[in-house]
Structure 1
Amino acid sequence: MSFQDDARAGTQAMRDVFPPTPLMRNDLLSERYDADIWLKREDLSPVRSYKLRGAFNAMRKVSEPGAIFVCASAGNHAQGVAYMCRHFGVHGVIFMPVTTPQQKIMKTKMFGGADVEVRLTGDYFDDTLASAQSYCADVGAHFLSPFDDEDVIEGQASVAVEIEDQLGRIPDRIILPVGGGGLSAGTRSYFGDKTAYTFAEPSGATSLGEAVRAGKPVDVSPINTFVDGAAVAKIGQRTFARLSTVDPADVLSISEDRICTTIIELLNVEGIVLEPAGALSIEALADVKDQIKGKTVVCIASGGNFDFERLPEVKERAQRYSGVKKYFILRLPQRPGALKDFLNILGPDDDIARFEYLKKSARNFGSVLIGIETTHPDNFARFFSELDAAGFTYTDITDDEMLVQFVI
């Protein structure tokens, strides 16, 4: 059987567990980009991500009685494996870092029920992975890789199978988020050269882009883990074997702050809750807008496991990227009326979001951390011009990541 036949067989078997996720045309995006834009809503799967597909396909092929399945994950893969352990009635041991948020631990336990044991070990994922693999060797368990496994890749290809069936044809372009490469490898292996591809990865973890340029998987550590569903330091060997010939121009690096603008817009305008990795493919539309006019495009919204405790950070990042919020350190004269002079410079659409004395830098001056929100980025041009005219000394630290981490 061909890969396509195997992927279709796996997809059919999945129908005993969960229905296809919706493929939904998005009018807002279609109008914006003058194209026919569809969203493959993996955020609406039983575990709010596509990860249960690969877990199901790999587990269904193990017929050994009393088999034990093991994985190492702090997120979607853990939940997908837990869900399938419960479905198959097999024992699963899921290793998670000690630093894993309680929300993710509780959801994993909820999906797995009595069939799953969660073990918290290691402060960092590498330590957790080593513990999981050591346990597998000791007890003869089956290790379920989140992406670097042929059966997992085949299972993730079920997303492509459903897209073709639901759309009634192969789209002109498909946009995918990339982490370890399982979803991308499965989709590209299924569609082959019958469509165009855009692979979007977070700028803090460009494992595919670097691998394509080097001609082999390379470790891009240290990585930024904000886009946790796609933050992988090294793409898989098996996944890269299926992606090694992609055009480097089709691999996009998208900043973490920029991704936040899509999360906020889809939440506020469309009522769609996406995790950062789930928003990657949609944000990538802006980079290919000249290539997709009049075309049919499918963006894979890979997951919606968003912890709403992160919403203030996501909003903050989105505002900074959009240019409507800035932080600066002001050298404020220590004289009566100095603060009033500064406040008079604020425009009708400018709001103070942060005001904090840091220290007196000299006898006659004090350093103040100030955050300003406004309604349009252009408002800052007038604001800074008037600051200069009034003789204020200030330093814009909005884009200084080191300082922002410490003071904001």
Structure 2
Amino acid sequence: MNAKLLPNDDDPVLTAASVLRRAESARVYEVAHHTALEAATLLSARLGSTVLLKREDQQPVFSFKLRGAYNRMAQLHANERARGVIAASAGNHAQGVALAASRLGIRATIVMPVTAPQVKVDAVRRFGGAFTEVVLAGDSYSDAQAEAMRLCAAMNATFVHPFDDLDVIAGQATIGLEILAQYPESLHAVFVPIGGGGLAAGIASVIKARRPDVRIIGVQASDADSMARALDAGTRISLNDVGLFADGTAVKQVGALTFSLCQHYVDEVLRVDTDAICAAIRDIYQDTRSIPEPSGALAVAGLKQYVAGHGPADGALVAVVSGANMNFDRLRFVAERAEVGEQREAVFAVTIPEQRGSFHRFCNALGQHSITEFNYRIGDAHAAHIFVGVQTAQRGEREALAAAFRANDFRVLDLTDDELAKLHLRHMIGGRSPLARDERLYRFDFPERPGALARFLDRMHPDWNISLFHYRNHGADYGRILVGIQAPASEHELLRYFLSSLGYPYIDESDNPAYRLLLCA
């Protein structure tokens, strides 16, 4: 793909060569710095390809956005600087504008939605100092942008667009120049996350101008794929709604400039789902010990999908890790979904007979697989319905596990790709049961090691019925399970003796007020 004029020949600045010239003279290094191009050794070994990570999460504001924001503001004339700038953002662009304002001595008003995480609002104020005012308006980025445009007109200020501006695009394009300088060897493809398209447009333009043989592959979240849809349709479109997990790239409509550049210089755009993004976050952590935000991991998720479909590449694969402004409260969700995203966990609903010995047969059917989750509540006199997560080592094991369950005459439903089950139903199994008479509730701790839960289940074969069982592996040193056991009051002394003989520390929770309110029959 050669650098060429876009369809609007009256605007010759929209070429790869012209973006390259702007990028070569960009002033980003007055505030940003060259970031590392690191080898992802673990991921490379798994994929059979040389995988390199462009670490834009190492910038002072923990994302690439500083490059474009600063370059745009550095180009302002003296009278424009005196009037100040306005920006709208939910996070990373706001931090870039704030730091640029502080360094350049320009007053900035940054409009953020009231739903913006407090950690990001605080960061904007910290980076901008006395030069930045934060205005909270509206529930979404669109609301914030509308307020920013109103203020822009009222104050006669300059609007610093997060992506659809040539100076912003040129600032982001310097990442492409760094990649080419850092890796002059055989380069197969560069994977770039896409929101509004500024990063992809800039990187694609300069790399195609210098090395047109290198593929540029954009990556979007499947529920925020405005660029992919626009390229498919041949024109910009506006999405009614976008998913917010990858909030840094949740853009309903891409820019006019960015669309034109991507249309000519981006080779393809891949869509990845939430589970794949979570798995990519973990991949980056394992190789770098850093935690990117969801949008920051998009490129790695797309790279993995590309290799899965095309096989090992004949040259290096570069993924741009675009940011690390992760909300801490998302980490639990990410850890939960990464196993499924990497297909290291299969999730099933299995129906077994409600009779003595069924749990034991179920554990035997698992073979050497470790249980990652086990949820059960008595609800039927004849059939027990179990929600179970099982650790898998490679693709295809789901089918083998399902076949093993069926070979034992257990009905099985594969829930690994069921969003409702993974997000909600796994937490809702239980409740009151009229069959749970004479139930006692116990919490156990036991050393967490492969097969530990199976061994625990294997020993739980007294004369009393198990009416409730909950376990979830959270990667801790000790596993924690909750067990309901039905035993008449006359046998409680025997039950306590049995529990003591198991050798696991336990707590009797039968009088816990929450249990008695929500679960007790």
Q: Return the TM-score normalized by structure 1.
A: 0.86
Residue 136 in 1 paired to residue 152 in 2? yes
The verdict on how the C-alpha distance between 1:94 and 1:395 changes in structure 2, with shifts beyond 3 A counting, is same
Secondary structure, aligned partner of 1:132: helix
Residue 48 in 1 paired to residue 48 in 2? no
Corresponding residue for residue 123 of structure 1: 139
Deviation at 1:275, TM superposition (A): 2.0
Corresponding residue for residue 224 of structure 2: 205
Deviation at 1:189, TM superposition (A): 2.5
Unaligned segments of structure 1, at least 5 residues: none
Write the distance in 2 (CA, Å) between the matches of 1:322 and 1:17: 37
Write the distance in 2 (CA, Å) between the matches of 1:21 and 1:87: 20
Write the distance in 1 (CA, Å) between the matches of 2:33 and 2:50: 24
Secondary structure, aligned partner of 1:300: strand
The verdict on how the C-alpha distance between 1:394 and 1:38 changes in structure 2, with shifts beyond 3 A counting, is closer
Corresponding residue for residue 229 of structure 1: 248
Write the distance in 2 (CA, Å) between the matches of 1:327 and 1:355: 11
Q: In the alignment, is the contact (CA less than 8 A) between 1:181 and 1:236 conserved in 2?
A: yes
The verdict on how the C-alpha distance between 1:72 and 1:376 changes in structure 2, with shifts beyond 3 A counting, is same
Q: Which has the larger radius of gyration?
A: 2
Corresponding residue for residue 399 of structure 1: 417
Residue 24 in 1 paired to residue 62 in 2? no
Q: In the alignment, is the contact (CA less than 8 A) between 2:303 and 2:317 conserved in 1?
A: no
- Residue 374 (structure 1) aligned to one of 371, 385, 391: 391
Corresponding residue for residue 313 of structure 1: 333
Residue 302 in 1 paired to residue 322 in 2? yes
Q: In the alignment, is the contact (CA less than 8 A) between 1:219 and 1:234 conserved in 2?
A: yes
Secondary structure, aligned partner of 1:398: coil
Secondary structure, aligned partner of 1:371: strand
Corresponding residue for residue 266 of structure 1: 284
Amino acid at match of 1:109: R
Secondary structure, aligned partner of 1:251: strand
Residue 286 in 1 paired to residue 310 in 2? no
Corresponding residue for residue 252 of structure 1: 270
Deviation at 1:244, TM superposition (A): 1.9
- Residue 75 (structure 1) aligned to one of 91, 111, 134: 91
Q: Return the TM-score normalized by structure 2.
A: 0.69
The verdict on how the C-alpha distance between 1:72 and 1:221 changes in structure 2, with shifts beyond 3 A counting, is same
Q: In the alignment, is the contact (CA less than 8 A) between 1:205 and 1:224 conserved in 2?
A: yes
Deviation at 1:39, TM superposition (A): 2.5
Amino acid at match of 2:393: H
The verdict on how the C-alpha distance between 1:283 and 1:367 changes in structure 2, with shifts beyond 3 A counting, is closer
Corresponding residue for residue 456 of structure 2: none
Percent identity between the aligned chains?
Answer: 34
Deviation at 1:43, TM superposition (A): 0.9
Report the aligned-residue RMSD. 2.9
Write the distance in 2 (CA, Å) between the matches of 1:105 and 1:169: 41
Structure 1 window deviating more from structure 2 (208-217 vs 379-388): it is 379-388
Q: In the alignment, is the contact (CA less than 8 A) between 2:277 and 2:341 conserved in 1?
A: no
Q: In the alignment, is the contact (CA less than 8 A) between 1:48 and 1:305 conserved in 2?
A: yes
Deviation at 1:344, TM superposition (A): 5.3
CA shift digits 1:276-335 (9 cap, x unpaired): 222222333334445873424433221122234322211222211333334444556555
Q: Relative contact order: is structure 1 or structure 2 higher (C-alpha 8 Å, sep ≥ 6)?
A: 1
- Residue 145 (structure 1) aligned to one of 139, 154, 161: 161
Amino acid at match of 2:246: V
Write the distance in 1 (CA, Å) between the matches of 2:358 and 2:222: 42
Q: In the alignment, is the contact (CA less than 8 A) between 2:192 and 2:200 conserved in 1?
A: yes
Write the distance in 2 (CA, Å) between the matches of 1:292 and 1:238: 34
The verdict on how the C-alpha distance between 1:383 and 1:19 changes in structure 2, with shifts beyond 3 A counting, is closer
Unaligned segments of structure 2, at least 5 residues: 1-12, 427-521
Amino acid at match of 1:41: R
CA shift digits 1:331-350 (9 cap, x unpaired): 56555555555455444432
Write the distance in 2 (CA, Å) between the matches of 1:33 and 1:268: 15
- Residue 180 (structure 2) aligned to one of 154, 164, 176: 164
Q: In the alignment, is the contact (CA less than 8 A) between 1:347 and 1:383 conserved in 2?
A: no
Deviation at 1:54, TM superposition (A): 0.8
Deviation at 1:85, TM superposition (A): 1.5
Deviation at 1:394, TM superposition (A): 4.3
Deviation at 1:240, TM superposition (A): 0.7
Secondary structure, aligned partner of 1:192: helix
